[in-house]
A and B are shown apart, each in its own frame.
Chain A
């Protein structure tokens, strides 16, 4: 674990399967990702430095890598994307700050749309299986990923969870990311679309404070609009801020609690957005 930021190295990630799903961890070789080696050229000629070294290393040479730091995650995400596409599964990566209503949105969506569209859920939280238990109680297959002190899901975690969940062909996969408007923005999982949820009790300036998240998103859901009469929140201003960061962002307003605007969300899910490329921004 990092002594500076407290994040984990992933060693403590845990998976828990919930009712309705059967353990398929024995199958799916398609998701066994081998190490991915890139070719690189060794720079054999003599190398001069324009700086001082505190130590001697006469035979040193420089390898030009020019490699994307997230290459490994992106490679795994492409595997996930292909795996999902091959089964005609549409995956949504739901991201928000803690408490914006991700799990409640899923509960209501499963209740109202589950009979029409098969839905399964991958839940990401640092600790506890509470969210997957809530989803499991609806009868929907769910897997809980606990990231320990990790602050986001990555493509490798999703690959493991897919093996456990084994979602059926043609279903909709909801991935509830760790509640956090910062880190999840950077990690492609292989999803079709990224959905960011903002609740109006959080304040209208969230898109400006966390621009990377809103730039990475395809759809913004403004939740808890039933509370608009009681809190100082300017909807137009919030949407304006969000589009300043991401002009192509789609926006829907809804209240998961009261049901306002849910039909538009269901229409969006029925559209089955095409597979996006892996570009996060």
Chain B
């Protein structure tokens, strides 16, 4: 369970950016292949934000799907998880998206 450390990083980064402003909403982007479980981040969020400018803020998480390009046939394929094959049978895939782990925006007052 690394989501606590991840959530702490989020709180730290946001605090650095907002410089004391009250945070009403945080928007995250978490890719399906990032290795981070959105529900676990949600579970940690309230604990981590307690006593900070983010306490009580809403948490929106955009989940981005996994996508890859096959290095053998050049086709683009959707990935449900990190173990996937191109329809051509190749496992030699270059990930294009799905690994995102970003703070998109924060709404402050």
Contact = CB atoms under 8 A, between A and B. Distances in A.
Interface of A: 2-10, 35-38, 40, 47, 53, 57, 59-73, 150-152, 154, 182-183, 185-187, 208, 211-212, 215, 243-245, 247, 281
Contacts of B24: 53, 57, 60
B107 interface: yes
A221 B38 CA distance: 32
Contact of B17 (A3, A38, A150): A38
Contact of B102 (A36, A53, A67, A182): A67
A4 B16 contact: no
8 contacts: A6-B1, A57-B24, A65-B105, A67-B103, A154-B5, A185-B35, A211-B83, A244-B83
B6 interface: yes
Given A9-B4, A67-B102, A152-B5, A35 B95 contact: no
A152 B8 CA distance: 14
Contact of A4 (B43, B83, B85, B92): B43
A37 B82 contact: no
Contacts of A187: 2, 5
Q: Is the interface of A mostly helix, strand, loop or mixed?
A: loop
Nearest to A212: B35
Contacts of A71: 9, 13
Contact of A5 (B1, B9, B33): B1
Given A60-B109, A247-B92, A186 B9 contact: no
Contact of B12 (A3, A72, A182, A185): A72
B25 to A, nearest CB: 8
A183 B91 contact: no
Chain B interface size range: 35 or more
Contacts of B95: 281
Interface of B: 1-6, 8-10, 12-14, 16-18, 24, 28, 33, 35-36, 40, 43-44, 47-48, 81-83, 85, 91-92, 95, 99, 101-109
Contacts of B107: 47, 60-63
Contact of B2 (A47, A61, A66, A151): A151
B17 A72 contact: no
Interface centre among B4, B8, B109 (most CB of A within 10 A): B4
A211 B81 contact: yes
List 9 A-B pairs, minimum CB-CB distance, nearest first: A5-B1, A183-B2, A7-B4, A211-B82, A212-B35, A2-B4, A4-B43, A60-B109, A244-B91
A10 B5 CA distance: 8
Contact of A70 (B14, B101, B104): B101
A281 B83 contact: no
Nearest to B26: A65
